[in-house]
Amino acid sequence: MSENATPKPLLEVKDLAITFSTPDGPVHAVRDANFTVMPGETVAIVGESGSGKSTSALAAIGLLAGNGRVSAGQILFDGEDIANASEKRFVELRGNHIGMVPQDPMSNLNPVWKIGFQVKETLKANGLAGDNPKKRVAQVLADAGLPNPEARANQYPHEFSGGMRQRALIAIGLACRPRLLIADEPTSALDVTVQQQILDHLDTMTSELGTAVLLITHDLGLAAERAEKVVVMYKGRVVEYGPALEILRNPKHPYTQRLINSAPSLSAARGDKHEAIVEETSPAKAEPLLSVSNLTKVFDIRKGFGKKEKFTAVDNVSFEIPKGTTTAVVGESGSGKSTIAQMVLNLLDSTSGEITFDGQQIGNLSEKQLFKYRRRVQPIFQDPYGSLDPMYSIYRTIEEPLRIHGIGNSASRQKKVKELLDQVSMPAATMHRFPNELSGGQRQRIAIARALALQPEMIVCDEAVSALDVLVQAQVLELLDELQRDMGLTYLFITHDLAVVRQIADNVCVMERGKIVEQGSVDDIFDAPKSDYTRNLLAAIPGATLI
């Protein structure tokens, strides 16, 4: 870049408009989008789902869904307008000029072909396989940070962890040394520490190769940390565009301001916390509502030929949750946090140890007692798409627990459902609709209303906000907070996201491989973490060092 006084932009998006034709008429997904990517530069597009950020990037590689098309404007790649280029031209460009790292590592590798095959065909299609394709494949995989690449190339995707798959996808995206890499939420499906490793690696590789990166993310903190320029998109329009740190520190558009205020990663760094809870609950040396002591869960893993192996998912875990407070259990995937939630909900038997709820051991409840227990402890699960029955209307979903527990008659139940919907700020008319007609955030509100129906004393939130966009996440967290204040609810909050913990929890247990490595009040954990593991987790929160 330095030789040239005014370097030519690599990608220039000018007045871009993208339209999808649907049975209900055209949908304008992107309007008047303008931004530029210089050679070797990283530009992040930030926005919530449906903001048009992925659509804009996919148009640059000719991968719009079948009913979408560029309806106006230009996409200049190295001076050539490719907005409506032929399929043939795109086949030439893809791979060696424009590469892509997709979002979800679980679904983006073909499950029936070996990793090596999938890398090799990329090289072959772009004429870069060379005389010894096997060696090239191993090299490419090694460059992406996969240990033992020769053996790994011979494995299938299902034999890889999520992080390893994402490395394989990065290897594929960069295999043909493209000049532009489109990275579509490349790490949002991964744990924070893995995310950090992978993004670091991606940074190193792209700067070595001089590759420009178009990074698509919903996380402003991550964007600011990784990119030189940030494009903020909202409802199909670019609302703010400029140098990353400037936007983060001095956001001009109200949407960007909201985004920054509700980004958990950023507020965690600022130490924001809802004062109300702190005041109400910190002096309370209340009775523990739930106490877990020496809880252990061992699974048998089948190894083929009748061999079994023991796997300790939860290892001698003890903690207490005082009434009316929130305790967060934090850890990476596989740390055993969800297993604890399942045992507390009595959906899974423990191998040893005790769970006591309100003075009563729940391990040996009779069927009748268990039924009563279920009424007092309710879950909210991660995936609002999977946890609501698509065949049940919202009314039926919320009413079902009332009916099962024989509460009220049909008129009083209807009234109750209306009240519950009101509590979670949903209009009463919602009850005649079905889950597929609602957004993710709305569905999670319904799941909360369903959990509240039986007036439980404790709610177990298993990654209850992880699937939601930041703004929606902030709203749902606020709702949970309000409900706690109004009804004195107790929360067991399972999450992988330390940033969210700071917003909601009073006490924290940090888990690693089945063991609690550290526990204490939220301020202790954040301000004076004792274990290295906690320190690593905190450091991996993107954008943490920027404010």
Partner 1 sequence: MLSFTLKRIAQLIPVFIGATLLVYFLVFATPGDPIAALSGGKPMTPATEAALRAQYNLDQPFWIQYGLYLKNLVTFDLGMSFSGQPVADLLGRAFPVTARLAILALLIEGVFGIIFGVIAGMRKGKFFDSTILVASLIVIAVPTFVLGFVLQFVIGVKLEWAKPTVSGAGTWSELILPAMVLGLVSLAYVIRLTRTSVIENKSADYVRTATAKGLSRNRVVRVHVLRNSLIPVVTFLGADLGSLMGGAIVTEGIFNVPGVGNLLYRAILKGETPTVVAVVGVLVIVFVIANLIVDMLYALLDPRIRYA
Contact by Cβ (8 Å): 106, 159: no
CB of 184 to partner 1, least distance (A): 10
Pick 65 or 284: Cβ nearer partner 1: 65
Rounded CA-CA distance 304/36 in Å is 54
Pick 107 or 410: Cβ nearer partner 1: 107
* Alpha helix (H) residue ranges in 385-452: 394-404, 410-423, 440-452
Q: Is 408 exposed, middle or buried (0-12, 13-18, 19+ CB in 10 A)?
A: middle
Beta bridge pairs of residue 73: none
Q: CA distances (Å), 469 to each of 232, 332, 382, 442, in order? A: 14, 20, 13, 12
411 binds partner 1 (CB under 8 A): no
112 binds partner 1 (CB under 8 A): yes
Pick 126 or 262: Cβ nearer partner 1: 126
Contact by Cβ (8 Å): 13, 60: yes
110 binds partner 1 (CB under 8 A): yes
Site for partner 1 in 286-325 (CB under 8 A): 302, 304-305
Residue selected from 53, 94, 179, 502 as contacting partner 1 according to rule CB under 8 A: 94
Rounded CA-CA distance 56/182 in Å is 11
Pick 305 or 364: Cβ nearer partner 1: 305
Pick 168 or 239: Cβ nearer partner 1: 168
Residue selected from 109, 146, 192, 498 as contacting partner 1 according to rule CB under 8 A: 109
Which string of x and - marks every residue 442-481 that binds partner 1 (by CB under 8 A)? ----------------------------------------
Q: Which residues does 3 contact at the CB level (< 8 Å), separation at least 6?
A: none
Question: What is the phi-psi region of residue 251: left when phi exceeds 0, alpha when psi lies from -120 to 50, beta otherwise?
Answer: beta
Pick 105 or 379: Cβ nearer partner 1: 105
Beta bridge pairs of residue 296: 352
20 binds partner 1 (CB under 8 A): no
Which of the stretches 103-111, 196-204, 341-349, 395-403 binds partner 1 when contact is defined by CB under 8 A?
103-111
CB of 369 to partner 1, least distance (A): 40
107 binds partner 1 (CB under 8 A): yes
Size of the site for partner 1 (CB under 8 A): 36
68: tokens are 């979408």
Q: Which residues does 57 contact at the CB level (< 8 Å), separation at least 6?
A: 45, 182, 184, 214, 216
21 binds partner 1 (CB under 8 A): no
Site for partner 1 in 121-160 (CB under 8 A): 121-122, 125-126, 156, 158
Question: What are the E-state strand segments in 323-383?
Answer: 326-330, 352-357, 360-361, 377-380
327 binds partner 1 (CB under 8 A): no
230: tokens are 């940030």
302: tokens are 């089948």
Contact by Cβ (8 Å): 542, 195: yes
25 binds partner 1 (CB under 8 A): no
95 binds partner 1 (CB under 8 A): yes
List interacting residues with partner 1 (CB under 8 A).
61, 63, 65, 87, 91-96, 99-100, 102, 104, 107-114, 118, 121-122, 125-126, 156, 158, 169, 172-173, 176, 302, 304-305
